[in-house]
Amino acid sequence: MKALVLTKNGFPMKHATAPQIPDGLHYRARRERLLQTVRKTYGGGLVLMPTAPEMFRSRDTLLSYRPESYFYYLSGFPELEAVLALSCDSAGETRHLLFCREKNLERETWDGYRFGPEAARETFSFDEVFPISALTEQWPTLAMNQPALLTPLGLYPDWDSAVTRRMGVLRAQARSGNTPPACIVDVRDLLDPMRMFKDEQEIALMRHAASITAQAHVRAMRFARPGHFEYQIEAELQHEFLMHGAQAAYSPVVASAENTCILHYTNNRRQINTGELLLIDSGCEYQSYAADITRTFPVGCRFSAAQKDIYELVLAAQRACFDALKPGAPFHAFHDAAERVLAQGMIDLKLIEGSLDAALETGSFKRFYMHRAGHWLGLDVHDAGHYRRGEHGEAPTLLEPGMVLTVEPGCYIRADEDVPAAFHNIGIRIEDDVLITKDGIDILTDDAPKSVAEVEALCAE
């Protein structure tokens, strides 16, 4: 479905209805899939998954809370101080438990609504829900005689310490005839392959996030004028996100002039002058799912000849990436396609010397293009999943329907003495979010204009 209604001058103006949020049974089905994998792999086991702790911004001021992505993927539960406990035996019998905060009307007056155990059980489809304080007492009963304990390792130091202490207690109790888990496994190794494939609900949420983000980039192009500061453009992006119930998925890059050549620039304090390029890398997060779009455009005028040359080169590299994306293709094929187009373009524009084969072999083009062409996208901006497969990573991951990734070639030319002056401080990146389908690809962010004609028309409004 199209998420935006096209109106003024053919550019998106109005946002569509938000998709339905998955219900508790949807998350329960994911948990069952995980547990069946645990049974097949280890003959049964206990999964313990904590959510993220609160983080202080300064003194007694907290950062806005977001649940840990793996925890949220399995539960949909949005609150802090919670732990999932999932178990299965060799016969396939499963239990879905949650430990969470109790209802507390006094604290809810200060901090807001809490589900509490009873509402959490009904809403998120758990067999039983206990107060978080009961976890320590129930730990031995849950873990004893399980073939394996599966939990995230190295994620939170306090959690690692708690697991180590509790396993020590279990081993001390082994004389009573009970057996502690024989191994501790990082559960994310089983969850990563699951998260790489987005279901219909996830795709709907990501499409919506892409739609909101596309509208934010259109807003920014219309708003940006000489004399504005980068942070004022950032404010327009944030406005669009918040107006649609979303928030920034990451610190936005709003980079002008020489800042366009800084890949992770987030200071966003510079004042913008006529004729300078503005590179915006910004995406919203909607119901915990991220979008990731980059657009680059001139402020106050049309592209200069040199700016247009580099822009068209990056756009051609992105089209080559799209051509390389299809089911069965190695993940890195689209990156290789981007490198070939960009390297040849740099030779043609006399930014580098020699043949295409020599440029690719020596990597001389990497002076102006130093990053990969994309990454997985989902609950995290750089989402779960491996880019190579095999016991030793000897083979690339092959693309399959349901995978979502970004496609973001770029070219970044600093004002160095050996570079023609016309190309100084031209940094251009064009990024879209792509779903692999059985027939090819679906560009989720296609509503964000990017042709030279579209971009110049928007900037002139």
Query: CB neighbours of 296 closer than 8 A, spacing ≥ 6?
Result: 260, 277, 278, 279, 280, 311, 314, 427, 428, 429, 430
Has 42 been annotated as catalytic?
no
Nearest alpha carbon to residue 212 among 138, 270, 289, 158: 289
pLDDT of residue 11 exceeding 60: no
Active-site entry in 375, 380, 432, 433: 375
pLDDT tens digits, one per residue of 15-63: 567 888 789 999 999 999 999 999 999 999 999 999 999 999 998 899 9
Give, in order, the Cα–Cα distances in Å from 383 to each of 196, 207, 249, 389, 412.
Answer: 8, 16, 12, 16, 25
Give the residue with greater pLDDT, 15 vs 258. 258
202-216, pLDDT tens digit by residue?
A: 999 999 999 999 999
**pLDDT-based confidence at 252, cuts 50/70/90?**
very high
Mean pLDDT in residue range 343-363: 97
Q: Is the pTM of this model over 0.85?
A: yes
The answer to whether residue 375 is catalytic is yes
Among 202, 236, 292, 380, the one annotated catalytic: 292
Q: Which amino acid is at 268?
A: N
- Band the pLDDT of 133: cuts 50, 70, 90: very high
Sign of CA dihedral 115, 116, 122, 125: positive
Which residue among 54, 57, 59, 60 is the active-site one?
A: 60
Active site residue 382: yes
Is 386 one of the annotated active-site residues of the chain? no
Based on the residue annotation, tell me whether 89 is a catalytic residue of this protein. no
Tokens of 8: 């003024």
DSSP state of 77: -
pLDDT band per the 50, 70, 90 thresholds, residue 3: very low
pLDDT at 318 over 70: yes
Mean pLDDT of 150-166: 94
Can you name the residues that pair with 426 across neighbouring β-strands? Answer: 413
Cβ atoms of 321 and 337 closer than 8 Å: yes
Residue 4: pLDDT band with limits 50, 70, 90: very low
Task: Mark 204-217 as b/e (b = at least 16 C-beta within 10 Å).
Answer: bbbbbbbbbbbbbb
Q: What is the pLDDT of residues 60-117, one digit of tens each?
A: 899 999 999 999 999 999 999 999 999 999 888 999 999 999 999 999 999 999 999 9
Residue 77 burial class via C-beta count within 10 angstroms: exposed 0-12, middle 13-18, buried 19 and up: buried
371 tagged catalytic: yes
From 399, 409, 386, select the one nearest 441 (Cα to Cα). Answer: 399
Select which of 383, 408, 433, 447 is catalytic.
408
Average pLDDT, the chain: 94
Q: Is residue 336 flagged as an active site residue?
A: no
For residue 308, give both structure tokens.
């247009």
Query: Quick check: 1 pLDDT over 80?
Result: no
